[in-house]
């Protein structure tokens, strides 16, 4: 059970950087992400429908982006962290063939509540910023 470590509030500092993670945007991830989030909008699984609205291919739905953003934050923090909020601004679509690089940085720590603000950005290598925003995590006060 000790395999999983969770950062404590005392262990993080404003300015700490999260390691960059590359996410390959595949047709599988886009389509299966849409289905796993029960988002059956045709533009997320049907290329012809996506092209009909001017997109080159199916594109990632927002619920998948939200999932990737929280996963990135809790992969860093460990499983005892409680996600308090995610606030994200949407940018360029993620389309199969792209690679989205996720980066993050601790921007605020509330020592009273243990809530840590992590600024997260997901930038794809073709069109640039896919999403950027903040994940708030409540961390244990001490290890």
Partner 1 sequence: MNADEQKAFEEEIYAFVGREVCPPTPAPDDVNMAMIRQWAEVLGETNPAYLDPAWAQQSARGKTIAPPAMMYVWGQEGFAATRGRAPNAQVDLVETFNRYGYTGVLGTNVKQEYVKEVGPGDNVSMQMVIDNISERKTTSRGTGYFFETLATFTDQAGEVVGTQRFKVLKFIPQEQPAAASSDDGGLEVPTRIASPRGQDNGWWWDAVDEGKVLIQRCKSCQTLRHPPRPMCGECQSMEWDSIESSLDGEVLSYTCLRHPAIPGYPKDPICAVIKLGEGTNIVSNLVGCEYEDVQIGMRVKGKIEQVDEKTLLPQFYPA
Query: Site residues (CB under 8 A) for partner 1?
Result: 1, 4, 22-23, 29, 32-33, 35-42, 51, 53-57, 62-64, 66-71, 74-75, 79-80, 82-90, 95, 97-99, 101, 125-126, 140
Question: In the numeric block, which tokens belong to residue 26?
Answer: 């595949």
Query: What residues does 51 pair with on adjacent strands?
Result: none
Which CB atom, from 96 or from 109, has the smaller least distance to partner 1?
96
Q: Which residues contact 111 (CB under 8 A, 6 or more apart)?
A: 9
| 3-class state of residue 45 by DSSP | coil
Which CB atom, from 90 or from 111, has the smaller least distance to partner 1?
90
Smallest distance, Å, CB 140 to partner 1?
7
Smallest distance, Å, CB 113 to partner 1?
14
Which CB atom, from 13 or from 53, has the smaller least distance to partner 1?
53
Angle between helices 27-36 and 62-77 (to 10 degrees): 90
Smallest distance, Å, CB 19 to partner 1?
15
Q: Which of 59, 71, 132 is nearest to 98 (CA)?
A: 59
Q: What angle do CA 115, 5, 136 make, to 5 degrees?
A: 20
CB 117 within 8 A of CB 134: yes
Smallest distance, Å, CB 65 to partner 1?
9
Smallest distance, Å, CB 135 to partner 1?
10
- Number of alpha carbons in the 13 Å side-chain half-sphere of residue 130: 27
Which CB atom, from 9 or from 68, has the smaller least distance to partner 1?
68
Which CB atom, from 1 or from 112, has the smaller least distance to partner 1?
1
């Amino acid at each position: 059970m000790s395999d999983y470590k969770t950062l404590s509030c005392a262990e993080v500092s404003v300015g700490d950087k999260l390691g960059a993670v590359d996410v390959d945007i595949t047709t599988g991830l886009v389509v299966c992400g849409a289905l796993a989030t029960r988002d059956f909008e045709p533009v997320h699984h049907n290329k012809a429908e996506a092209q009909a609205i001017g997109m080159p291919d199916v594109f990632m739905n927002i619920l998948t982006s939200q999932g990737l953003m929280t996963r990135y934050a809790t992969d860093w923090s460990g499983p005892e962290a409680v996600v308090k909020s995610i606030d994200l601004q949407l940018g360029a679509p993620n389309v199969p063939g792209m690679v989205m690089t996720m980066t993050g940085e601790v921007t605020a720590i509330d020592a009273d509540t243990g809530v840590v603000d992590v600024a997260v950005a997901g930038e794809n290598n073709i069109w640039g910023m896919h999403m950027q925003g903040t994940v708030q995590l409540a961390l244990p006060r001490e290890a």
